[in-house]
Amino acid sequence: MARKNSNPGETQVQEELGGVVQHAEATSVLLRELVAHLRQNRTQLREEWARRITEAQLLTAMTKEEVFAEATSVYDNYVEALETGTFEALQAYARNLSERIIPRGVETHEVVGIVLLLRDVLARSLFAKYQTDFTNLNRIQDAY
């Protein structure tokens, strides 16, 4: 037989904790869905991102092959961080990348620019996927 809780404050805390747990579980499901989408569309999204970097004349101190190799590495590290929820490896990679490319003549604004382009490419991909389901699009963006 379940014990009735006579303390309204305790009941409220239990209800709030239950809501937090449900939200965390829902966020986890959405992040897994996002990671699956990013993995399934890896080639197309990396190519689009590298093309946009070149068109924006960012990372001009690097060859197209180097840009694509770095875009691939950043993309894969980013997806892994989303999947694991561990961003330390991504932060370490970003520091290492900056240490490697800044001395070669890449400007700080270029590094910021490529990150913004990645965000844009990924957002456009999500808009295309969820264009008929704005509720799910908003949930994915909130989780992301």
pLDDT value at residue 101: 87
Going by pLDDT thresholds of 50, 70 and 90, the confidence category of residue 121 is very high
Burial class (CB in 10 A: 0-12, 13-18, 19+), 109: exposed
Is 97 within a domain?
Answer: yes
State phi, psi for 38 to the nearest 5 degrees. Answer: -65, -35
The answer to whether residue 18 sits within a structural domain is yes
pLDDT on residue 36: 94
pLDDT at 99 over 90: no
- Rounded Cα distance, 71 and 65, in Å: 10
pLDDT reported for residue 89: 81
In this predicted structure, what is the pLDDT of residue 53?
A: 96
pLDDT-based confidence at residue 9 (cuts at 50, 70, 90): low
Asked if the structure places residue 43 within a domain, the reply is yes
pTM to 2 decimal places = 0.75
Q: Given pLDDT bands bounded at 50, 70 and 90, which one contains residue 86?
A: confident
- Whether residue 6 is contained in a domain is answered as no
Q: Domain of residue 71: give its range.
A: 12-143
Query: Does 3 map to a domain?
Result: no
Q: Which of 25-34, 59-68, 130-139 has the highest mean pLDDT?
A: 59-68
Number of domains in the chain: 1
Domain assignment of residue 1, yes or no: no
